[in-house]
Amino acid sequence: MYKLVIIGLLTLAGIFYFQKAKAQFPKTGSCKNPAFDQKVNGYLSYSAPVIDVGDAYDKQNEFVFLDAREIEEFKVSHIKGAKHIGYDDFNLSSLSQIPKNKKIIVYCSIGYRSEKIANKLRKAGYQQTYNLYGSIFEWVNRGYPVFSGGQEIKKVHTYNEKWGKWVSNKTYEKVYK
């Protein structure tokens, strides 16, 4: 019986810990499409602060944008001025020229990978680092511009058709390669 009580208490403590960790930063973003908003919300742990796409767009000159997608995704299109940092091959030393007091927004496709990178940056001392809620998918869903080779284009890498369904703005071509 004693072992069952201990196991029960440890289980409750674990549940409390993980719920507290998920709620470390409040949800401050939203997506136009409620189903996509639910999808994004389900993938994030809120272990890094989020910023709404509209707020990021309105204040984009105040931030450095870092793209945590893979290079193939970045080459298709990215937010103007974004620096590619990747996810699988992310290396903190690639940011040595960015002061630690600079405001940073990290993004990927929906916000999962960028949240992980934002956490790494915060642990490294970049305390004004935010995860873009809904990331580049929500950016294009709201009709904000993306660029490739210095030119504005209407394409976004969506990985595959399963993920491509979350880009609902029909003026953007979905690229899967």
Each of the 177 residues of the chain gets a pLDDT tens digit; together they read: 555 444 444 444 444 444 444 457 778 789 999 999 999 999 999 999 999 999 999 999 999 999 999 999 999 999 999 999 999 999 999 999 999 999 999 999 999 999 999 999 999 999 999 999 999 999 999 999 999 999 999 999 998 999 999 999 999 999 987
Domain residues for the domain of 116 are: 27-175
Say how many domains are in the chain: 1
Question: What is this structure's pTM?
Answer: 0.86
Domain assignment present for residue 12? The answer is no
Identify the CATH number of the domain in which residue 62 sits: 3.40.250.10
Domain assignment present for residue 113? The answer is yes
Domain assignment present for residue 21? The answer is no
Here the tokens at position 67 are 């793209």
* 64-67/50-51 β-pairing: unpaired
Largest CA distance in the chain: 68
Domain assignment present for residue 46? The answer is yes
